[in-house]
């Protein structure tokens, strides 16, 4: 039997996009037939998919690091790089995916439901894709973007129609074993059940699942005992069954006080749900405290328990809760209980919101997917510019925005033409206008991206477009010193060099005349003593 793991942390990374290619098509009689560099392939995604054959997250506890395949670079001859292979990770139904900050990413319910948790990087464009009417043969390409790297938390919330709650050793596991074919571990000591047990019950033509939630104690909603570890497994159930132990020998305990304590803990946990991802306004589920409840008085095969059941019956019925007296060991009253639960399950299924999905009666929450890269509203600015203090550079103007930061990641800074292309994109996107509006002047330091890892450069406002200043492939006139000396400047520099040489010679002649130095081979004989 596999170990039950209901919470793991995954370190996922999408594949990196492949770089584009810089290539010029060559063939006989067409030595320079234009650019033919292909685009790089996109990186693969990390995808979670619901698989009914998977019942635990144990695999990812042992292998928490998961990475998708990288895209391959583009090639000449208009050949595009291949896309990286997606990494598909099967997860049990009822898995909730959150990021490291606790924000909901996806709620996976229904066979085949999937969610991308780490997107692959986009492939870089080749010089064929970058060609235009002005830039006919680009001598550069764009780099592939790195894949998304993040930590995600997987939490398994059991999908069951009926949840059994109660104190430890109240007989919940015995009841599951008596109603279904499940065979959980049963012992006569508290906290025998350390993992939820699922059983399938057939009552007439109705089939439903029943879950045994490990025992709850006062303070379970605050994490005491096994509380928060397993309270999540009742969030999706349609019916809550209170299993009360009528034969307990612990002082200060009785069925009514046990019922009150568990109700208080459920109410406290319902408040946490309403503040989290299970807000009824978003999920469409009935609030936890408004779902049908059934009270089961267990162990009536014990004479003292039967007398206690007769004593508390009127108080429970006064609360308007259906009451059943059973014995899971002696199989007393189980048939009536199973059919009553089946009726409540059928009613809950009929009132459940229609999903229109192949999952049938199961609820299907929509998967939250990130927006497409680079999309923005017409009125939304491309970037935000602010003045801040850099620990090394002093006062800098920081530029933040999805597109400018993406353009920087795609730029090969070893290629002057690629840098010029970046400058053109920033100018066309209005980033330079935003810098002027923020008070920047020529020569000021500009930072694009985060404080750590961003690109720093000295800003020089663009006066013309790069296409109008194109030179040889791979070069940009704006990044080169193209000033040519005039004849007057050349003559003046020549005369300056000659005058400097003559001044040096004259200095040596003056020092020799003063006797400061002599020839190296000359000796007056005093050094020979």
Angle at 41 between CA 36 and CA 46, to 5 degrees: 175
pLDDT at 395 over 80: yes
Q: Which two tokens stand for residue 440?
A: 């920047």
DSSP letter at 277 equals T
Mean pLDDT, residues 240-268 taken together? 79
Kindly report, residue by residue over 35-86, the tens digit of the pLDDT: 999 999 999 999 999 988 887 788 888 889 999 999 999 999 899 999 999 9
Strand order in the sheet with 384-390: 384-390, 394-400, 445-448, 455-458
Helices 334-351 and 172-179 cross at an angle (nearest 10°) of 90
**Res 282: pLDDT:** 45
pLDDT at 266 over 60: yes
Mean pLDDT, residues 227-255 taken together? 73
Q: Which two tokens stand for residue 447?
A: 């930072």
Strand order in the sheet with 46-50: 87-91, 46-50, 114-118
- What is the C-alpha separation between 451 and 391, in angstroms, rounded? 9
Q: What is the mean pLDDT of the chain?
A: 78
Mean pLDDT, residues 317-329 taken together? 83
- What is the C-alpha separation between 424 and 466, in angstroms, rounded? 6
Q: Which residue has the higher pLDDT, 344 or 482?
A: 344
Q: Which two tokens stand for residue 150?
A: 């993040």
Q: pLDDT band at 1, cuts 50/70/90?
A: very low
Mean pLDDT, residues 14-34 taken together? 87
Q: Which two tokens stand for residue 344?
A: 């409540």
**Res 132: pLDDT:** 85
Kindly report, residue by residue over 303-315, the tens digit of the pLDDT: 777 777 788 888 8
Kindly report, residue by residue over 170-226, the tens digit of the pLDDT: 777 788 778 875 555 454 544 444 456 677 788 888 888 887 776 566 555 554 445
H, E, C per residue of 323-387:
EEECECCCCECHHHHHHHHHHHHHHHHHHCCCCCCCCCCCCCCCCCCCCCCCCCCCCCCCCEEEE
pTM: 0.67
Mean pLDDT, residues 252-275 taken together? 75
Which of 26, 16, 32, 34 lies closest to 73, judged by CA? Answer: 16
Backbone angles phi, psi at 145, to 5 degrees: -85, 145
Which of 422, 458, 456, 455 lies closest to 440, judged by CA? Answer: 458
pLDDT at 249 over 70: no
With a CB cutoff of 8 Å and minimum separation 6, the contacts of 330 are 301
With a CB cutoff of 8 Å and minimum separation 6, the contacts of 188 are 169
Q: pLDDT band at 119, cuts 50/70/90?
A: very high
**Cβ density class 80-104: b for 16+ within 10 Å, e for less:** bbbbbebbebebbbbbbbbeeeeee
With a CB cutoff of 8 Å and minimum separation 6, the contacts of 365 are 107, 109, 283
Helices assigned H by DSSP within 136-241: 172-179, 227-231
Mean pLDDT, residues 115-132 taken together? 92
- What is the C-alpha separation between 283 and 280, in angstroms, rounded? 5
DSSP letter at 445 equals E
Residue in the block written with tokens 């002599």: 518
SS3 content of the chain, % helix, strand, coil (to 5): 30, 20, 50
Mean pLDDT, residues 373-390 taken together? 72
Q: Which residue has the higher pLDDT, 367 or 19?
A: 19
Q: pLDDT band at 248, cuts 50/70/90?
A: confident
The sign of the CA dihedral 397, 398, 402, 408 is: positive
Angle at 270 between CA 268 and CA 276, to 5 degrees: 115
Which of 458, 450, 465, 462 lies closest to 384, judged by CA? Answer: 450
* CA–CA distances in Å: residue 15 to residues 86, 120, 146, 198, 287: 8, 5, 7, 38, 41
Which of 468, 309, 319, 449 lies closest to 390, judged by CA? Answer: 449
Contacts of 275-281 with CB under 8 Å at 24 or more apart are 277/96, 277/98, 277/104, 277/107, 278/235
What's the number of CA atoms in the CB half-sphere (13 Å) around residue 454?
Answer: 21
pLDDT at 126 over 90: yes
Q: pLDDT band at 363, cuts 50/70/90?
A: very low
Q: In the chain, what percentage of residues exceed pLDDT 70? A: 77
**Res 524: pLDDT:** 53
Mean pLDDT, residues 409-417 taken together? 89
* CA–CA distances in Å: residue 311 to residues 23, 302, 304, 316, 333: 90, 15, 11, 10, 18
């Amino acid at each position: 039997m596999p170990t039950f793991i209901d919470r793991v942390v995954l370190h996922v990374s999408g594949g990196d996009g492949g770089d584009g290619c810089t290539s010029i098509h060559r063939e006989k009689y067409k030595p320079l037939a234009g650019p033919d560099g292909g685009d790089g392939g996109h990186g693969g995604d990390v995808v979670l998919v619901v698989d009914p054959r998977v019942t635990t997250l144990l695999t990812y506890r042992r292998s928490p690091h998961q990475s998708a395949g990288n895209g391959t670079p583009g090639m000449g001859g208009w050949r595009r790089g291949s896309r990286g292979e997606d990494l598909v990770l099967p997860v049990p139904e009822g898995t909730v995916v959150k990021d490291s900050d606790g924000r909901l990413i996806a709620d996976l319910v229904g066979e085949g439901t999937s969610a991308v948790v780490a997107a692959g990087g986009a492939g870089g464009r080749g010089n064929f894709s970058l060609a235009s009417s002005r830039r006919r043969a680009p001598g550069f390409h764009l780099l592939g973007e790195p894949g998304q790297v993040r930590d995600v938390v997987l939490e398994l919330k059991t999908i069951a129609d009926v949840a059994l709650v109660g104190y430890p050793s109240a007989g919940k596991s015995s009841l599951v074993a008596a109603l279904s074919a499940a065979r959980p571990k049963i012992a006569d000591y508290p906290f025998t059940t350390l993992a939820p047990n699922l059983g399938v019950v057939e009552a007439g033509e109705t089939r439903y699942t029943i879950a045994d939630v490990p025992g709850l104690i006062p303070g379970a909603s605050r994490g005491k005992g096994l509380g928060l570890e397993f309270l999540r497994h009742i969030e999706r159930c349609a019916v809550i069954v209170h299993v009360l132990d009528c034969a307990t020998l612990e002082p200060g305990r009785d069925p009514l006080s046990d019922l009150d304590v568990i109700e208080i803990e459920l109410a406290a946990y319902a408040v946490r749900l309403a503040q989290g991802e299970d807000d009824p306004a978003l999920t469409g589920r009935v609030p936890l405290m408004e779902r049908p409840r059934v009270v089961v008085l267990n162990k009536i095969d014990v004479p003292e328990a039967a007398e206690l059941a007769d004593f508390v019956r009127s108080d429970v019925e006064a609360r308007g809760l259906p009451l059943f007296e059973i014995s899971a060991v002696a199989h007393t009253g189980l048939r009536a209980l199973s059919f009553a639960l089946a009726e409540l399950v059928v009613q809950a299924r009929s009132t459940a919101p229609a999903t229109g999905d192949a999952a049938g009666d199961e609820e299907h929450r929509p998967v939250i997917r990130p927006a497409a890269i680079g999309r923005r509203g017409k009125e939304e600015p491309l970037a935000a510019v602010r003045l801040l203090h850099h620990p090394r550079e002093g006062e800098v103007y920081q530029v933040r925005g999805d597109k400018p930061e993406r353009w920087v990641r795609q730029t090969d800074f070893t290629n002057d033409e690629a840098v010029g292309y970046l400058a053109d994109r920033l100018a066309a996107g209005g980033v330079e206008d935003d810098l002027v509006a923020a008070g920047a002047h020529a020569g000021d330091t500009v930072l694009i991206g985060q404080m750590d890892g961003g690109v720093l450069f000295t800003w020089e406002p663009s006066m013309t477009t790069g296409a109008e200043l194109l030179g040889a492939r791979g070069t940009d006139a704006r990044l080169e010193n193209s000033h040519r000396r005039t004849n007057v400047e050349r003559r003046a520099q020549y005369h300056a060099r000659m005058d400097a040489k003559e001044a040096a010679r004259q200095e040596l002649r003056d020092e020799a005349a003063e006797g400061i130095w002599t020839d190296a081979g000359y000796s007056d004989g005093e050094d020979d003593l």
